[in-house]
Amino acid sequence: MPTPSLTFRGEPMRMIYLDHAAAMPINPGVLEFAKRYLQSDFGNPSSLYSAGLEAKRIIEDARKKIAELINAENETCIVFTSGATESNNLAIKGTALRNIGKGKKVVASAIEHISVLNPMKELQKSGFELTIIPVDSTGIVDIEELDDSLTKDTTVTSIMYANNEIGTIEPIKEISEIVHEKGLYLHVDATAAAGRLPVDVQNDGIDLLTLSSNDMYGPQGAGALYIKPGVRLQSILPGGGQERGLRSGTENVFAIAGMGEAARIAKDEMAQESKRLRGIRDGLISEILKVEESYLTGHPTQRLPHHASFRFSRIEGESILLNMDMKYNVQVSTGSACTSRMLEPSHVLIAIGLKHEEAHGSMVLTLGRSNEVEEIPIITKAIKETVQRLRELTPL
Amino acid sequence: MAQIGYSKKVLEHFMNPRNVGTIENPDGYGKVGNPVCGDLMEMFISVKDDIITDIKFRTFGCGSAIATSSMVTELTKGMHIDEAMEITRDAVADELEGLPPRKMHCSNLAASALHEAIKDYKRKEED
């Protein structure tokens, strides 16, 4: 399809990108910083000559910057991976398998990312006991249920910092106190939260923390796992023994260097940028909720600053996405079954108690650096007209 | 920019669907699907001398659900009901220059909705 030739105030209408939870453009400063590790400084960090030493140096530089972003005890707590999915797998399988002598129980909330739930289900198939903790209608984990579920043989408990589909921020400090009272480990997936909320592993009481490069405007293909000193886990990717033996394979030097720089910029700019995005987000929420039969999904206040998510009765999300894209050049996301590989609605929307037909009408907006307050009326108009058009078609 | 792997024709029908709406006192009415599954379609037909003289639809569902509904109405307006009963889901998909594989089943119910409407018309004729 050709790009829609729409105009706004006589100018060609540019794309408004509202799916930063799916992918983010690399920060130009990060690209500038890291590109030499693809070109001139392309050495293997394990080599001992100077090209290798520079690659090694920049990886350690990135480790330090990431440790600073999350206030880790020191940089040796950071292990680089290929992304959040691998970090989650390493945290869960690596800890469960290393500590199998202590027990075979794992616990996760019902709204965890699929890269947390699926490794846990795999463990379940090989004899582990998996407990899923429900959430309330705003997406907050049921603390009492969690407390009741944790026993001394629970080796990994995984609760996300904030949810990517409904924006809800979990009470991590309270959760970590419960987990630690029983002497257990807490893994936190901070993919959606890092760089947007002041994640502090020491203050929050986190034992294992998943980070993603691209979710902080870094290059795709890098992630990290924070491992608190003293927490024991085993490798799930044996080989040449890179990353303290926890993650073999030649390091993705470009992506790791970029991730480090992205973390540094995120730390510097987070407070200001989060405040700016929160303003745009609040404007969008108040305008979009004026649409008849529209509802906010997730928590009204305990919410990621760049995140607005909704559902609209009697219409379907993929149609919303398509219409917004083709007619208005606005890119949004949905938890509708029709866009998923499994043709099932989002497990997160089902976990907060939505019926299937309600979950089909979901729309998720995640803001980023390119978005501006001036876009609020354009986005709102596109959504209002899209909902109206699809409701004219619906038999419901 | 081929959204979700849709053909140009699917997108065109999605953006400009033909024959949207309802017919008052239709000669035949068919409804298939279920909002729980994400797709629900209804077809209204007017029939004269076994020819479909008018056809309208309403659809709740994804892009391909809307496009296939639109295509079915376009294909069968003016068609003899016996011929319209022969229209298959595959034929509808072919007319739309194909559908993504996972959309072939769930979102391609429009032919069935039309067949239900024709059966409804025949039942009424027999009464």
Chain B, residues 6-65, CB within 8 A of chain A, namely 6, 8, 11, 14-15, 17, 20, 31, 35-42, 58-63, 65
A chain contacts of residue B39, beta-carbon cutoff 8 Å: 316
According to CATH, the topology of domain A28-265 is Aspartate Aminotransferase; domain 2 (3.40.640)
Can you give the residue ranges of every domain in chain A?
Answer: 6-26+270-393, 28-265
B60-75 tens-digit pLDDT: 999 999 999 999 999 9
Q: What is the pLDDT of residue A1?
A: 40
3-state secondary structure of B93: helix
- Between CA A327 and CA A5 the distance in angstroms is 9
Which of these, A299, A309, A306, lies nearest to A281 by C-alpha position?
A306
Asked if residue B24 has pLDDT above 50, the reply is yes
A338 has pLDDT over 90: no
CATH architecture label of A6-26+270-393: Alpha-Beta Complex (3.90)
Q: Measured between alpha carbons, how far is A375 from A378 in angstroms, rounded to an integer?
A: 5
Find the distance separating the first CA and the last CA of chain B, reported in whole Å. 52
pLDDT surpassing 80 at residue B119: yes
- Three-state SS string over chain A comes to CCCCCCEECCEECCCEECECCCCCCCCHHHHHHHHHHCCCCCCCCCCCCHHHHHHHHHHHHHHHHHHHHCCCCCHHHEEEECCHHHHHHHHHHHHHHHCCCCCCEEEEECCCCHHHHHHHHHHHHCCCEEEEECECCCCCECHHHHHHHCCCCEEEEECCCECCCCCEECCHHHHHHHHHHCCCCEEEECCCCECCECCCHHHHCCCEEEEECHHHCCCCCCEEEEECCCCCCCCCCCCCCCHHHCCCCCCCHHHHHHHHHHHHHHHHHHHHHHHHHHHHHHHHHHHHCCCCCEEECCCCCCECCCEEEEEECCCCHHHHHHHHHHHHCEECECCCHHHCCCCCCCHHHHHCCCCHHHHCCEEEEECCCCCCHHHHHHHHHHHHHHHHHHHHHCCC
Residue of A nearest to B34 (CA): A357
Rounded CA gap, A293 and A296, in Å? Answer: 10
Q: Which two tokens stand for residue A115?
A: 């890269």
Kindly state the DSSP code that residue B101 receives in the 8-state scheme.
G
Kindly state whether B117 is in contact with chain A, defined as any CB-CB distance less than 8 angstroms: no
What's the pLDDT tens digit per position in A260-294? 999 999 999 999 999 999 999 999 999 999 999 99
Closest CA to A216 of A268, A139, A142, A148: A268
When pLDDT is cut at 50, 70 and 90, the band that residue A345 belongs to is: confident
A1/B42 CB distance under 8 A: no
Model pTM score: 0.93
Q: Do A393 and B66 touch (CB under 8 A)?
A: yes
CA angle B42, B44, B49 (to 5 degrees): 145
Question: How close B106 comes to chain A (CA, Å)?
Answer: 9
Which residue among B6, B20, B31 places its CB closest to the CB of A393? B20
Q: Residue A395 and residue B107: Cβ atoms within 8 Å?
A: no
Residue A41: per-residue pLDDT: 86
Residue B43, pLDDT > 60, answer yes
Number of H helices, E strands in chain B: 5, 3
Q: Which of residues 77-116 of B touch A (CB under 8 A)?
A: 102-103, 106-107
pLDDT for the residue numbered A42: 87
Q: Is A77 a catalytic residue?
A: no
Pairing verdict, β B28-34 and A186-189: unpaired
Sign of CA dihedral B76, B79, B85, B89: negative
Determine how β-strand A78-81 pairs with β-strand A223-227. antiparallel
| Residue A12 scores a pLDDT above 80 | no
CB contact under 8 A, A319 and B62: yes
Q: Do A318 and B62 touch (CB under 8 A)?
A: yes
Under the banding of pLDDT at 50, 70 and 90, the label for residue A335 is confident
What integer pLDDT is reported at residue B106 of this predicted model? Answer: 67
A/B interface, count of CB pairs below 8 Å: 86
Phi, psi of A211 (to 5 degrees): -130, 150
Q: Do B1 and A1 touch (CB under 8 A)?
A: yes
> In 3-state terms, what secondary structure has residue B126?
helix
- Residue B100 pLDDT: 87
Lowest mean pLDDT among A38-42, A221-225, A316-320, A383-387: A38-42
**Chain B contact for A391, CB < 8 A?**
no
Whether residue A6 has pLDDT greater than 60: no
Cβ <8 Å between A395 and B41: yes
Q: Establish if A388 touches chain B: CB-CB under 8 angstroms.
A: no
**Subunit contact A316:B60, Cβ cutoff 8 A:** yes
pLDDT at A140: 98
Find chain A residues with C-beta within 8 A of B14's C-beta.
319, 322-323, 326
In which residue are the tokens 């995640």 written? A366
d(CA A112, CA A191): 11
Q: Which residues of B touch A329 (CB under 8 A)?
A: none
Instruction: Sort out which chain A residues have CB atoms less than 8 A from B106's CB and list them.
Output: 338, 343
